[in-house]
Amino acid sequence: KRILVLNGPNLNRLGTREPERYGRLTLADIGQRLDRAADGQGAALEHFQSNHEGEAIDRLHRAADEGIDGVLINPGAWTHTSVALRDALLAIDRPFVEIHLSNIHARESFRQHSYFSDVAVGSIVGLGALGYELALTALIAHLDAPSA
Ligand code: DQA
């Protein structure tokens, strides 16, 4: 199975960005942990981070053309703003799991709506970097048995 791991804006600053909220691991650290977990579960990951919405949309289109099976996505602030990124995920018609390091439901009201949650396989929030690994396990299980 091939899975795209897509991280949105400002997540390239993990490690130093509000560490009390988002933790001290860098995005590279999280990516390495995920690669190890994926190895053990027979999946191969492709990693992509961008601060540019159009690039993220283009990357999703390309992933579909290349036959990717599913997507793990932390859309960052686009979670709360981007109909276009939601539409891209619907357009490529691949299952995806939404991840947030922080518990968006315990924060500002503008973070409590997600343009992704209702069309995601599921969402994991508030569990920090561990959330990425849990999301990977869940997405692989979904790919193996979509109706389970
Ligand atoms: C985030 C939550 C978003 O509200 C915020 O804009 C981020 C990170 C998270 O992982 O907790 O950039 O997606």
Model confidence at 148: pLDDT above 70: no
With H, G, I as helix, E, B as strand and everything else as coil, classify residue 131: helix
- 130 ligand 1 Cβ < 6 A: no
Q: Is the CB of 123 under 6 A from ligand 1?
A: no
* Cα maximum dimension of the chain: 40
Instruction: Tell me whether 0.90 is exceeded by the ipTM.
Output: yes
H-only helix segments in 3-147: 19-22, 27-40, 53-65, 83-92, 130-144
Determine if residue 111 is labeled as part of a ligand binding site. Answer: yes
pLDDT tens digits, 4-20? 999 999 999 999 999 99
Quote the number of domains for the chain: 1
pLDDT of 147 strictly over 90:
no
The minimum-distance atom of ligand 1 relative to the CA of 21 is 11
Query: Taking each helix axis from N to C terminus, what angle separates 53-65 and 83-92, rounded to the nearest 10 degrees?
Result: 0
Instruction: Single out the catalytic residue among 22, 115, 132, 142.
Output: 22
pLDDT band at 146 (very low <50, low <70, confident <90, very high): confident
How far is it, in rounded angstroms, from Cα 106 to Cα 16? 22
Task: Quote the CA–CA distance of 130 and 136 in Å, as a whole number.
Answer: 10
Which three-class secondary structure state does DSSP give residue 6? strand
CATH number at residue 123: 3.40.50.9100
Ligand 1 centroid – CA 110 distance (Å) = 11
How far apart, in whole angstroms, are the C-alpha atoms of residue 85 and residue 107? 22
Per residue in 92-125, pLDDT (tens digit) is 999 999 999 999 999 999 999 999 999 999 999 9
Measured in angstroms, how far is the CA atom of residue 102 from the centroid of ligand 1?
7
Say yes or no to pLDDT of 27 above 90: yes
Average pLDDT over every residue of 65-76: 98
Supply the pTM of this predicted model. 0.97
Decide if 100 is catalytic: yes
Q: Which domain range does residue 33 map to?
A: 2-144
Q: Is the minimum distance from the CB of 74 to ligand 1 under 6 angstroms?
A: yes
Task: Answer whether 77 contacts ligand 1 (Cβ < 6 A).
Answer: yes
Rounded to whole angstroms, the Cα distance separating 23 from 58 reads 29
CA of 76 to the centre of ligand 1 (A): 4
pLDDT band at 144 (very low <50, low <70, confident <90, very high): very high
Q: What is the pLDDT of residue 90?
A: 98
Q: Is 42 left (phi over 0), alpha (psi -120 to 50) or beta?
A: left
